Chain A
Amino acid sequence: MLLLLFRSNRPPSSSGARPMTGARGQLGTSAGRPAGTATRLTTAMNPGTARPGTRGGAVAGGLALNSQVNVVDRPTTQQGLGGMKTAARGRRQVMDKTYFLGLLRSKLNDLNGEINNLNKDIENTNDENSSFLTYDKRAEVLAGEIRDLQAELGDYNILVDKLTIDEDIQDVEFDCNNLKAQNDRDSKKIEEMFEVKKQKEEYIAQLEMEIDQEKRMADNLVNDMDPKLRQKYQKLKTLNDHLLKQTEIGQQELDQLNSKIETLQEDLSMSQVKQEAVRLYEQIHELTSKRDSLIEESKQRGSPAEEREKLLKQVKEDNQEIASMERQIKEINEKIESLQDDINQYDMDIEENQGEKNQKYKELRKREETMDEFLDTFEDTKAQELKRMTELQGAIVNSLEHVSRNMGRFGSLPTPGELATMKDDLAFKEDEMKKSETTTIGLASERDKLEQDLKKLDVMEEKLHAELAVLKEKSVTMQRDLVIYSDLDKLKEQAEEKKQKLQDDRVILQKRREAFKKHIQQMTAKYEGLKSQLNDNETYTQLANLERKWQHHEQNNFSMKEFIATRTMECDYRPLSKQFYSMMDEYNQILQDKLAGKKGM
């Protein structure tokens, strides 16, 4: 569609071009056509190009008012006769008015169709837009509804929670009131803040007004100024502006560069390679600077003679400097000395003049100081001294007493020789005392040992007594036995008697044994007979089998009963349930108390 239109826009150029080439289009025997249309049509009917005339062509092939195809007409090429050009893609061969009209019509139809489609699309989109708006509104409304419902749901949920927890209505009201209070507080805060904000805004408006006022005043001043001054002012102002801008730009650049530096530094700090690079760069820098300096040096070096001269000059200069400095120092020292001498002289003068007075003054001052000290510490020292005095008095009294006592003994004092002997004695006695002390310690330990031995001996004595008693008894019995045993004959007689009796008994018992044996034999024979009789009896064997089976069953029974009993005992939940109930009661009680206590607060 668009291309066709494009083509229609271009007719002037194409019409200019095409006819020149002339025989490009396979014009049939069409004649008497207006140039415009011809040119247009040629462009339209160009099969050689890749124009989408195919579209139009195909359509045209179908819809155009085709006249019969003149087989006779031979298509001509640029150089004259050409080959038979067959129809390309079922298009019409003969391109005459009707064909082109047909084409045009088809194109028009297409265009119309497209326009209709577009219109429909537009309408659709418009409808959709409008419907979208309505939907949007509805969505908003619904969202609002949803919000409300959600709030309701939330309220209901809270209610359900409160119900399941069995919370008191008082608690609920309490919470409600809390929330209300909180809300009031918050709203108040918000109002306050709003007020503050308003105030601030007013303040800002005020300030702005002031600023404007000032500005106007400044302007007035400027206007009132001389024109020259004004110019200057203007120039300065513009300069100021310019500079400000520059500073701004410069600041921005600076910030950028700073940020860049920071990032680069971060990167630097992260990457070790870069750090190394930095180090190496620094090294390079150092070395280059060194090199430069060395190069400069070498440049400046010149020949050794010059060097020597230079050095000598330098040395001379330095020496001169040193000398001068030394002189200065000397002078200063001399000055110092002279001043000191002056000072001393002055002092001496002062002393001479005021020698005595000064000394007296000094003495007086010293005395004053000591007196002040004394006064300060007077009390303390007084107390101390008093104490000392009393102590000393006491000591004196004691010593006096002592002395008086000793005086009494004076007569009996021994001579030094005697004193010496007494001292010897004393030393000797001391030694003895020490020795005796050690001996007492040893004796004490020995005493302990001996006491223990004594206890042991007591115990042994008791044992011995007991043994003695036992032995006495034994001896008595032994005596008796002795008497008995000493009487050998009697013993012999007794033994004989016993032997006889035992023999008799033996005989009797043997007889009895035989009788018993016989008896037993009879009984066992009877018993065996009965047993065999029993075993022969079928009923008995059957009974025995049944009995055995019964025993087996009873065993199973019993073991199962035992098993059941043990298991029921294990599964016995009753004590556990009792425990549980009691614990639950306790717990409930505690909870109740706690809640009651809380409310009471």
Chain B
Amino acid sequence: MFDLALSEAGAQIILATSSDDKYPPENMIDGKDDTFWTTCGLYPQEFIIKFTSLVSINTIQISCYNVKKLKMEVSSDDNQAFKTLAEKELQPSDSAPQSEEISGRNVKAMNLRVVIESGYDHFCAVYKICVHGNAERS
């Protein structure tokens, strides 16, 4: 079990609704805590992580800030529709980033879609996202 959502592992952000050059979405999957991705305003914001191959997700760890409501969706294939995995409402924390863990229940997924439905402020940041799981042999 290892972090699937790492750029070294081949994961890619194929879609992100906000893109600031200084804080690109890649900061989420670079495995570093001090880089982050910011949203540019408006809600809902989302980003999609594509894994190299079909994987089964165990848990998802996300470290963010100012996020209020979060929704996770998976799709096993590019053409398939996304199925909701989980919806969570985070607590506001002023001094430190929020940290959440969502169980994946070993769902098989090729793409992971994270939707930030609302936030506590105009902008929010995601420092890191870790997807723990195994690669599936299809």
Whether A and B touch directly in their complex, counting CB atoms under 8 A apart, is answered as yes
Partner of B13, one of A512, A518, A519: A512
Which residues of B lie under 8 Å from residue A512 when comparing CB positions? Answer: 13-16
Counting residue pairs across A and B whose Cβ atoms lie within 8 Å, the total is 18
Confirm or deny: A508 has a beta carbon within 8 angstroms of a beta carbon on chain B.
yes
Confirm or deny: B58 has a beta carbon within 8 angstroms of a beta carbon on chain A.
no
Tell me the bound Cα distance from A519 to B13 in angstroms: 14
Write the nearest CB–CB distance from A91 to chain B, whole angstroms: 147
Instruction: Check if B15 sits within 8 Å of A508, measured CB to CB.
Output: no
Q: Mark A500-523, 1 if CB is under 8 A from B, else 0.
A: 000000001001101110110000
Write the nearest CB–CB distance from A415 to chain B, whole angstroms: 108
Tell whether A515 pairs with B26 under 8 Å between CB atoms, given A508-B12, A508-B13.
no
Closest chain B residue to A505 by CB distance? B24
Instruction: Check if A519 sits within 8 Å of B15, measured CB to CB.
Output: yes
Which residues of A lie under 8 Å from residue B15 when comparing CB positions? Answer: 512, 515-516, 519
Q: Most chain-B CB neighbours within 10 Å: which of A511, A512, A514?
A: A512
Confirm or deny: B48 has a beta carbon within 8 angstroms of a beta carbon on chain A.
yes
Interface size on A, residues (CB 8 A): 8
Write the nearest CB–CB distance from B127 to chain A, whole angstroms: 19
Q: Mark B38-80, 1 if CB is under 8 A from A, else 0.
A: 0000000000101000000000000000000000000000100
Write the nearest CB–CB distance from A109 to chain B, whole angstroms: 144
Instruction: Check if A508 sits within 8 Å of B26, measured CB to CB.
Output: yes
Tell me the bound Cα distance from A518 to B111 in angstroms: 14
Q: Mark B1-41, 1 if CB is under 8 A from A, else 0.
A: 00000000000111110000000001000000000000000
Write the nearest CB–CB distance from A505 to chain B, whole angstroms: 8
Write the nearest CB–CB distance from A397 to chain B, whole angstroms: 109
Tell me the bound Cα distance from A586 to B20 in angstroms: 74
Which residues of B lie under 8 Å from residue A514 when comparing CB positions? Answer: 14
Tell me the bound Cα distance from A516 to B48 in angstroms: 10
Which residues of B lie under 8 Å from residue A515 when comparing CB positions? Answer: 14-15, 48, 50
Write the nearest CB–CB distance from A580 to chain B, whole angstroms: 59
Tell me the bound Cα distance from A267 to B14 in angstroms: 132
Tell me the bound Cα distance from A516 to B16 in angstroms: 8
Write the nearest CB–CB distance from B110 to chain A, whole angstroms: 12
Which residues of A lie under 8 Å from residue B26 when comparing CB positions? Answer: 508
Write the nearest CB–CB distance from B74 to chain A, whole angstroms: 15
Tell me the bound Cα distance from A117 to B14 in angstroms: 150
Tell me the bound Cα distance from A508 to B19 in angstroms: 12
Q: Most chain-A CB neighbours within 10 Å: which of B13, B15, B26?
A: B15
Write the nearest CB–CB distance from A158 to chain B, whole angstroms: 92
Write the nearest CB–CB distance from B17 to chain A, whole angstroms: 9
Write the nearest CB–CB distance from A500 to chain B, whole angstroms: 14
Which residues of B lie under 8 Å from residue A519 when comparing CB positions? Answer: 15
Tell me the bound Cα distance from A512 to B14 in angstroms: 4
Other A-B contacts than A515-B48, A519-B15, 13 sampled, CB-CB below 8 A, are: A508-B12, A508-B13, A508-B26, A511-B12, A511-B14, A511-B50, A512-B13, A512-B14, A512-B16, A514-B14, A515-B15, A515-B50, A518-B78
Interface residues of A (CB under 8 A from B): 508, 511-512, 514-516, 518-519
Q: Which 3 A-B pairs have the closest CB atoms?
A: A515-B15, A515-B14, A511-B14
Interface residues of B (CB under 8 A from A): 12-16, 26, 48, 50, 78
18 contacts between A and B (CB under 8 A): A508-B12, A508-B13, A508-B26, A511-B12, A511-B14, A511-B50, A512-B13, A512-B14, A512-B15, A512-B16, A514-B14, A515-B14, A515-B15, A515-B48, A515-B50, A516-B15, A518-B78, A519-B15
